[in-house]
């Protein structure tokens, strides 16, 4: 059985499965901290929400990409990925704090694409910084 877990294809499938599950869980957490329902807004054509959500998905996946490259075990990869997600979530709250003239969530819900795009870029940019530190 030990040889089974050392098979490269099995490892790829394991990493893939864990990362997909983590993306689902982490997006659920993001959904809890935003004032709007991501998937309802996207279904209604809200491009700002789509950009912000896409940035979050990319950011989470990118953090895990770095984590997979840096760690030999699935458990270590998950730990670093979770830590990276917490930092990404913290970045979201800092972004909200740094814009006192308007509320990020409200602007994204109103389909303000400029705010949605900046949200995307912040998520992607922070994911590279977080990943480099993992």
- Rounded Cα distance between 99 and 117, Å, is 15
pTM (2 decimals)?
0.90
Instruction: Calculate mean pLDDT across residues 97-125.
Output: 95
pLDDT tens digits for range 51-64: 999 999 999 999 99
Question: Position of tokens 């922070």?
Answer: 126
- Rounded Cα distance between 94 and 110, Å, is 21
Domain that holds residue 37: 2-133
pLDDT tens digits for range 58-93: 999 999 999 999 988 889 999 999 999 999 999 999
- Among 40, 30, 48, residue whose Cα is nearest residue 115: 48
Q: What is the DSSP string of 37-103?
A: -HHHHHHTT-HHHHHHHHHHHHHHHHHHHHHHHH-SSHHHHHHHHHHHHHHHHHHHHHHHHT-TTS-
pLDDT tens digits for range 8-19: 898 899 999 999
Q: Looking at residue 111, what DSSP letter applies? A: T
Look at the chain and report how many structural domains it folds into. Answer: 1
Question: Position of tokens 């990319």?
Answer: 58
């Amino acid at each position: 059985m030990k040889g089974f877990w050392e098979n490269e294809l099995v490892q790829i499938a394991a990493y893939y499965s864990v990362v997909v599950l983590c993306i689902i869980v982490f997006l659920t957490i993001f959904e809890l901290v935003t004032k709007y329902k991501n998937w309802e807004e996207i279904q209604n054509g809200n491009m700002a929400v789509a950009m912000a959500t896409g940035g979050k998905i990319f950011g989470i996946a990118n953090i895990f990409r770095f984590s997979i490259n840096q760690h030999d075990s699935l458990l270590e990869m998950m730990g670093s990925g979770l830590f990276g997600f917490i930092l990404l979530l913290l970045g979201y709250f800092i972004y909200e704090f740094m814009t006192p003239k308007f509320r990020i969530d409200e602007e994204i819900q109103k389909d303000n694409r400029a705010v949605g795009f900046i949200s995307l870029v912040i998520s992607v940019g922070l994911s590279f910084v977080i990943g480099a530190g993992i």
